């Protein structure tokens, strides 16, 4: 059963990486259209809630795009940490391995955008992605430790 769970954990990582790859493979026109559609829906919701309509949609769209980077890699950090969890490594090595996988993937994803029409690599996106992955890794580690402590099973290996 544990082996099936390990395979499933890594499969989820690969699927999520494929989702990220497909999003970064969109041309700038496709990507802008998707993010602007989401931004417009959020602005409409904010207008209903606050009654204010003075939002600069272009600036807000930029913020939404960067939040998407952060969030997507937060999920990747969670998934990779989950997959790495059962490896026979000290916890520090698990955390480092998780971050290396996420950061290398973020960098390779930005490099991939060199070959996509209207897109290009941005070091700031790698940094935002890395921060999201770091938070996802930390959330997983903290939650797992708390769960193990409650179950009376806390050990040095996570």
What pLDDT was estimated at residue 1?
56
* pLDDT more than 90, % of the chain: 65
Going from N- to C-terminal start, the domains of the chain cover 2-28+67-150
Has residue 127 got a pLDDT over 90?
A: yes
Query: Which residues are CB-neighbours of 115 under 8 A, at least 6 positions away?
Result: none
Please give the helix or strand (H or E) that residue 22 lies within, else none.
helix 2-24
Could you tell me the pLDDT band of residue 86, with boundaries at 50, 70 and 90?
A: confident
Q: What is the pLDDT of residues 46-81, one digit of tens each?
A: 888 888 778 888 888 999 999 999 999 999 999 999
Question: HSE (CB half, 13 Å, CA atoms) of 99?
Answer: 15
Nearest to 133 by CA among 99, 95, 89: 99
- Contacts of the segment 13-17: beta carbons below 8 A, 24+ positions apart: 13/76, 13/79, 13/80, 13/83, 16/75, 16/76, 16/79, 17/76, 17/105
Give the span between the Cα atoms of 138 and 78, in whole angstroms. 8
CB neighbourhood size of 50 (10 A): 9
Has residue 27 got a pLDDT over 70?
A: yes
Mean pLDDT across the chain: 90
Provide the token pair at 58: 């272009």
Has residue 152 got a pLDDT over 90?
A: no
What pLDDT was estimated at residue 155?
58
Q: What is the pLDDT of residues 140-150, one digit of tens each?
A: 999 887 877 77
**Contact present, 28 and 61 (Cβ < 8 Å):** no
């Amino acid at each position: 059963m544990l082996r099936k769970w390990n395979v499933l954990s890594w499969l989820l990582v690969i699927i999520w990486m494929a989702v990220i790859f497909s999003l970064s493979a969109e041309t700038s026109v496709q990507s802008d259209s998707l993010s602007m559609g989401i931004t417009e829906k959020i602005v409409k919701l904010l207008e209903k809630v606050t009654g204010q309509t003075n939002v600069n949609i272009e600036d807000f769209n930029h913020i939404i795009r960067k939040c998407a980077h952060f969030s997507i890699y937060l999920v990747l950090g969670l998934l990779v940490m989950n997959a790495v969890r059962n490896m026979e490594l000290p916890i520090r090595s698990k955390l480092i391995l998780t971050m290396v996988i996420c950061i290398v993937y973020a960098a390779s994803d930005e490099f991939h955008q060199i070959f996509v029409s209207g897109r290009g690599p941005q070091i700031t996106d790698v940094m935002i992605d890395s921060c999201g992955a770091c938070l996802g890794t930390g959330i997983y580690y903290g939650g797992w430790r708390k769960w193990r402590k409650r179950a009376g099973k806390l050990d040095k290996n996570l």
